Structure 1
Amino acid sequence: MATGLRFGPIRQAVHICVDMQGLFTGHSRWAMPWFERVLPEIHKLVSLHPSRTIFTRFIPADSPVETRGSWTRYYEKWQEMTLAHVDKTLVDLVPELARYVPPARVFDKRVYSPWFSGELASTLHNADISSLVVSGGETDVCVMATVMGGVDLGYRIILATDAVCSSSDEAHDAMQKFYGQRLSQQVETAETVEILEAWSESGRNGH
């Protein structure tokens, strides 16, 4: 499996931090056991370039009847996680990261993919962004949707392997292998320390 930053310096990049919200930690029904373990690595990435950080937030449906298709079935199963029932403060980013907004920005979404509305793609295009550093959760759901959409749009994707997590260890491990093997020409997988060093060096050189 190919690992490390193989395609040169990190330039014209933003960090997309996926769904690090109260919904996915603590005693929530959607909690990811490794959330707290990856949070320090994510914090390092955010604090390096806060103005070049974009947080996404997954916003649950108000109720199952306001959805359609398989989303209705999904929210019938997870009715206690709809906005009609869940503690709405859990939709917020965790405090350790929320304090960086602004200058960091937030994009809300009602589905797994942050690309669905077109707003994120338009923002990145207008800013002449070509590379995306990706962190957050879940490795096999919303992170995957972020990565795959970014690949389709032609971005260089850099996945911070120690800054992503899932509620399924098996699926997390499988996706790490998938990113590194099957998408080896479009996705680079590297640990946070390597990304920080490369991105810091690019910044010192004016990129």
Structure 2
Amino acid sequence: MQSQMLRFGPLSNHALHIVIDMQKMFAEPGNFYCDGLQAIVPVIANIARNKIQSTVFTRFLPHQINKPPASPWQAHYHQWLTADFGQLPPEQYDLVEPLDQLSHPDNTINKNTYSVFESQAFQGILDKQRPDTLIFSGVKTNYCVLACVLASVDRDYRTLVVTDAVAGSSDQTQHAVLDTLLPRFIHQIELVTADTLLQSWKSDS
């Protein structure tokens, strides 16, 4: 699934780690539960603590629909997100422990779509930090993580996915993305374990 070395060499101190949607609603039994989330929490926390100045967290929040659905995307929100996702208690949108202790308003981005690149706040972070590499962890591998990764590729960033720090809707979808889909992007996407990532990432300076 990945080699023991980064294909394109060590990372600079201009890389940015993006933790996708590690929220309570995906960690607790219910319509949005992600079975593999708890296993990746300590892995993500270790990366974030080592690179806290280079880590950004995202939260997927409800999008308000005030008119009947006029497109497949609006219909998706109207039927699923408004009825279920939008009715969750507010604390369900919070990040899980201990990631909530590592986040603050300046490094946490709220988004209403799968890809964080649709967020003006995220674009502001990119404009300010000017990273050369984007590193992705979080959930779900087959939805928001995948959308963010492909958007990163389209914007010509060096793009990494930390394979032991992402979790999908099921084992089947997890393996489909990590073992079949992403390896086809041999020039654009690097699959790496957390240990190899930290060994290959230069110290902050």
Gaps spanning 5+ residues in structure 2: where? none
| 1:143 positional shift | 0.3
How far off its partner does 1:40 sit? 1.1
The 5 A counterparts of 1:29-178 are 29-62=31-64, 65=67, 69-74=71-76, 75-83=78-86, 85-102=87-104, 105-178=107-180
Structure 2: how far apart are the matches of 1:15 and 1:104? 14
User: Contact conserved, 1:136 with 1:164, CA < 8 A, in 2?
Assistant: yes
1:13 paired with 2:31, answer: no
Q: RMSD of aligned C-alpha atoms?
A: 2.2
Q: Which aligned runs of 4 or more in structure 1 are off by greater than 6 angstroms? A: none
Counterpart secondary structure, 2:117: coil
1-side partners of 2:68 and 2:48: how far apart?
34
Give the Cα–Cα distance (whole angstroms) in 1 for the partners of residues 66 and 143 of structure 2: 20
Residue 203 (structure 1) aligns with = 203
Q: Distance in 1 between the 2:124 and 2:154 partners?
A: 14
Unaligned runs of 5+ residues in structure 1 are none
Displacement after TM superposition at 1:138 (Å)? 0.7
Q: 1:191 to 1:179 in 2, by over 3 A?
A: farther
TM-score scaled to structure 1, two decimals? 0.88
Deviation at 1:120, TM superposition (A): 1.9
